[in-house]
Chains A and B, each alone.
Chain A
């Protein structure tokens, strides 16, 4: 059974976080940095492309200094609107600036076992089972590789991961765990099998690829080469900066934005120089270093501000954004997780970030929790309802109903109430029971989320992948394992 997808559109609330002058200053500063300081591109293929287009390339340091006009002209070739295709076209995701979609987070290394509650190393079966639950949940629009299949060979692991996601879900797959040219070629081949050929894949990219930059002001060579292969095949490609105030970026938020922006737009420009018009996206999960430990925080007011600000930059460059939200630093689903994931998601949604990453991980994207996954979906559902805003018209002002009830009555038995009550939010996991019921059971959101995940796993049957297609995917992977 193919499930509907819940996404935010036609927002009625907005945010004023960066003025046009602010954005222009960040942009100008970014171009200055790319031109005068440069960005490191440790791939000879990438350096060849830069050189061919007139950038200054230092082959020893692998640092590229590109003039502002080269970056600007390259970015203009990026399509502002395109679609992330799904195995089932009903679940296609138009990235048109008027939708916010949620994905699963990635890439965790441990899982809180759904049956035993024990923390253990992640494996391929987890990827498959998480994909099956995500296929069911309507708040989830697309997949990231949620956890690492550590029981698979390292050099084909990422391919096994996307195979089992496709085998368990009809929704779009975005992988953040492919960072070599060889894996990218195999992934493209696999995606073409799913789409029904290379030309079909170009029209309907059922796979997109997300790469990380290497802050400050650097890229990863394997990631660049993988991205170039994907872009050539027409797969949407994004670059994510995770610049951290005071460690990999200046302590100031604006300075952080400049460093991260330089990384992302230089990488996107490279893709456009190599494959003009290829679909690309901006991706970001900037943060601030924890001042005590030096760690990545995964939450806090700086993260929330970056969540609100980054889509303003992506809009300036007229490309979609994949924004890091959720991904709490909390060790278990608790108060901290609720605060982190609510505020980060609210801010990223208000600015209409196209893709949100993502639900389900704790401890700074390291530990998978099904409970957190479903409770994160409820957070998104709250924001989804908030984004509808307050509609003011004759029907909603309800003067006739107010007159009919008058002072001292109640609105429960009004037809208007029955007509509109289902527009009001109804929680799945918030505890609104009478105190006595809670006192008897002493259970709560985590228990209910766990029960729901178990029930979905036990009962949900995704649209099966044709066994022939599945066998073909396995054959492609096996050819790399010889």
Chain B
């Protein structure tokens, strides 16, 4: 019975069915199944499958995003029970991410946040038009391993350097790694401002983040 339920959980993620994933999570709780087991034997299996299919060229970005949404929704249902039992999901690391002050471009940053979250990072998305001090405060508050700074304009990109320097000044680096992204950003720029990494797309950002936390 448990196996069938786990399979259905994985399938709900593969199909990107948010409501179905939530329903299955509730069913697991009613049956007294360990929520951690539901995540690891059920939903995560679906996420991994979608990731493999994407890598093989058989599935696409919206599949990844929808799988991530379903996963997130299911975990949301299971979280109170996780807390009650005093157990926690083992995460790859904690990421604070946002689009820099003066820039309201959202989609690339959101995509990276979703992909990181799906991959097993704890992600705090600060949104857009985020002042430099906010990145620093949030990183300190949540004990971030990585700060991601997005910028789509050449005029706002320059403030990615300010985030690196502010984290330096706050004494958070080099423990906290800074990753930068956005259309005008290049590896050369990332090197120049002393950032720890750059990726052109969301898939590359996941690989980068994993590398920075020593997860692969």
For B65, the chain A residues whose CB sits under 8 A away are 412-413
| A418 in complex: contacting residue of B62, B106, B187, CB < 8 Å | B62
Interface string of A412-456 (1 = CB under 8 A from B): 111101100110001000000011110000000000000000000
B57-92 at interface with A (beta carbon < 8 Å): 60-63, 65-66, 68-69
Apart from A410-B111, A434-B199, what 20 extra A-B contacts exist at CB < 8 Å? A410-B106, A412-B61, A412-B62, A412-B65, A413-B16, A413-B65, A413-B66, A413-B69, A414-B62, A415-B16, A417-B62, A418-B62, A421-B60, A421-B62, A426-B60, A434-B200, A435-B200, A436-B187, A436-B199, A437-B204
What separation, in Å, do the CA atoms of A198 and B63 have in the docked complex? 54
For B63, the chain A residues whose CB sits under 8 A away are 418
| A408 in complex: contacting residue of B106, B111, B201, CB < 8 Å | B106
* B201 A410 Cβ-Cβ under 8 A: no
Cβ of B74 to closest chain A Cβ, rounded Å: 15
Question: Looking at chain A, what size class is its interface with the partner chain?
Answer: 10 to 19
For A426, the chain B residues whose CB sits under 8 A away are 60
For B204, the chain A residues whose CB sits under 8 A away are 434, 436-437
* B62 A413 Cβ-Cβ under 8 A: yes
* A412 B111 Cβ-Cβ under 8 A: yes
- Chain A residues within 8 Å of B, Cβ to Cβ: 408, 410, 412-415, 417-418, 421-422, 426, 434-437
What separation, in Å, do the CA atoms of A413 and B63 have in the docked complex? 8
| B66 in complex: contacting residue of A418, A422, A436, A437, CB < 8 Å | A418
User: Which A-chain residue is minimally distant from B128 (CB atoms)?
Assistant: A408
- Does B107 sit within 8 A of A, measured CB to CB? yes
What separation, in Å, do the CA atoms of A410 and B107 have in the docked complex? 7
- Does B110 sit within 8 A of A, measured CB to CB? yes
Contacts A412-B62, A413-B65, A417-B62; is A436 near B107 (CB within 8 Å)? no
Contacts A413-B69, A418-B16; is A436 near B60 (CB within 8 Å)? no
What separation, in Å, do the CA atoms of A417 and B200 have in the docked complex? 23
Cβ of A234 to closest chain B Cβ, rounded Å: 45
What separation, in Å, do the CA atoms of A410 and B13 have in the docked complex? 19
Cβ of A349 to closest chain B Cβ, rounded Å: 27
Interface string of B173-215 (1 = CB under 8 A from A): 0000000000000110000000000011100100000000000
Cβ of A287 to closest chain B Cβ, rounded Å: 39
What separation, in Å, do the CA atoms of A437 and B187 have in the docked complex? 12
What separation, in Å, do the CA atoms of A410 and B114 have in the docked complex? 12
User: Which A-chain residue is minimally distant from B108 (CB atoms)?
Assistant: A410
* B110 A410 Cβ-Cβ under 8 A: yes
What separation, in Å, do the CA atoms of A418 and B200 have in the docked complex? 24
For A408, the chain B residues whose CB sits under 8 A away are 106
Cβ of A442 to closest chain B Cβ, rounded Å: 16
* B61 A434 Cβ-Cβ under 8 A: no
For B187, the chain A residues whose CB sits under 8 A away are 436
For B60, the chain A residues whose CB sits under 8 A away are 421-422, 426
User: Which A-chain residue is minimally distant from B199 (CB atoms)?
Assistant: A434
Cβ of A427 to closest chain B Cβ, rounded Å: 11
For A437, the chain B residues whose CB sits under 8 A away are 204
What separation, in Å, do the CA atoms of A413 and B110 have in the docked complex? 12
